[in-house]
């Protein structure tokens, strides 16, 4: 028996809504508020961002455009679109391969030697001794000298075959004078680069050494660890981040070396000591081939970005592992 007031199965009787049961009126959404706050924080950075875009990205896009065209300043009427032909030509250019290999040798030689010398000097300056501040200032001086002045100093005062200080020193032991920049151009440039970049490595590694707490070293000493084991198992792992940062920054700067090569050897003999920036300069301003020089510039920039990205990932991985530990 049923009644007239039965309701469908699964539903209760309708309850009239009261004003207190209604949802309150929502204000601005949290997402919109956070977006507005984010744009408010970014707004002061917009002038700097636009300046960077105008000074870097627009010229790079123009370089890509020129790299796709056959453009020679001596024959402006013959300019035409050639696609990727400039890129194919530079990869079969033996001089370009030699310049790329020289860039790698310059970078590896300078970074490795500067890093080892900088680490030794940083360990020395981390100890207390009389006149440490004065010696530290003297060691930093080469990094403060302009690259042009440093290149002229090494080319004339140090490596000159007649009046150079290096030939005078080796002459005191009976060795005949050597024309360093002609007979050993790569070694001469690497020595000048090491002299300039060693203080930079020293400063970074010295900062890492001074950030190490003395309690750890004291505990290692009390446990019977000698200086060698303490350095290998405690100090060197602590310096991993600073070593990676030194290698990254040093490689990015050294791969763009131009002043020392231009003033000391002019890329010679022939193109034996030319690196990528100097060879690009030769093709653009001496050969007037804007298309191929632009293609070389694009390849160099892309290769540098790939290497820097890989190195940055290693550094960030090191930082994350250090924070988690």
pLDDT tens digits, 251-263:
888 988 999 999 9
What is the C-alpha to C-alpha distance for residues 251 and 46, in angstroms, rounded to an integer? 30
Q: Where is average pLDDT lowest: 150-159, 188-197, 231-240, 255-264?
A: 231-240
Return the C-alpha torsion angle 295, 296, 297, 298, nearest 10: 50
Res. 318: pLDDT tops 70: no
pLDDT digits (tens, 9 = 90+) for 19-70: 444 555 544 566 667 777 878 888 888 888 889 889 888 889 999 999 998 8
What mean pLDDT is predicted for residues 119-137?
89
Position 71 scores a pLDDT of: 84
Question: Who's near 182: CB < 8 A, 6+ residues apart?
Answer: 265, 268, 269
Q: What is the pLDDT of residue 240?
A: 85
Inter-residue contact 306 to 251 (CB < 8 Å): no
Q: How confident is the model at residue 5 (pLDDT cuts 50, 70, 90)?
A: very low
pLDDT at residue 278, rounded to an integer = 94
Cβ proximity of 200 and 143 under 8 Å: yes
Residues 68-98: pLDDT tens digits?
988 888 887 778 888 889 999 888 889 999 9
The angle at the Cα of 280, spanning 276 to 285, to the nearest 5 degrees, equals 150
């Amino acid at each position: 028996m049923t009644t007239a007031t039965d309701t469908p199965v699964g539903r209760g009787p309708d309850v009239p809504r009261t004003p207190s049961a209604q949802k309150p009126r929502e204000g601005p959404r949290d997402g919109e508020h956070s977006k507005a706050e984010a744009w408010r924080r970014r707004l002061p950075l917009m002038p700097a961002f636009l300046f960077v875009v105008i000074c870097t990205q627009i010229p790079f896009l123009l370089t890509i455009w020129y790299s796709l065209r056959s453009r020679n300043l001596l024959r402006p009427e013959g300019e035409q679109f050639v696609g990727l032909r400039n890129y194919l030509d530079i990869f079969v250019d033996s001089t370009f391969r030699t310049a790329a290999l020289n860039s790698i040798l310059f970078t590896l030689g300078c970074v490795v030697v500067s890093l080892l010398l900088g680490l030794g000097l940083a360990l020395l300056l981390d100890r207390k001794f009389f006149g440490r501040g004065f010696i530290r200032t003297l060691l930093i001086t080469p990094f403060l000298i302009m690259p042009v002045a440093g290149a002229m100093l090494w080319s004339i005062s140090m490596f000159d075959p007649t009046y150079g200080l290096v030939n005078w020193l080796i002459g005191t032991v009976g060795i005949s004078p050597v024309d360093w920049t002609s007979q050993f151009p790569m070694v001469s440039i690497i020595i000048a680069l090491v002299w300039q970049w060693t203080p930079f490595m020293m400063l970074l590694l010295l900062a890492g050494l001074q950030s190490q707490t003395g309690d750890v070293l004291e505990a290692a000493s009390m446990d019977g660890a000698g200086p060698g084991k303490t350095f290998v198992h405690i100090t060197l792992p602590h310096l991993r981040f600073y070593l990676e940062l030194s290698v990254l920054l040093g490689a990015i700067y050294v791969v763009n070396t131009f002043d020392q090569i231009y003033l000391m050897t002019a890329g010679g003999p022939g193109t034996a000591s030319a690196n990528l920036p100097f060879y690009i300069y030769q093709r653009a301003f001496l050969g007037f081939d804007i298309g191929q020089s632009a293609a070389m510039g694009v390849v160099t920039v892309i290769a540098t970005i790939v290497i820097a990205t890989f190195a940055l990932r290693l550094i960030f991985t090191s930082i994350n592992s250090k924070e988690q530990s």
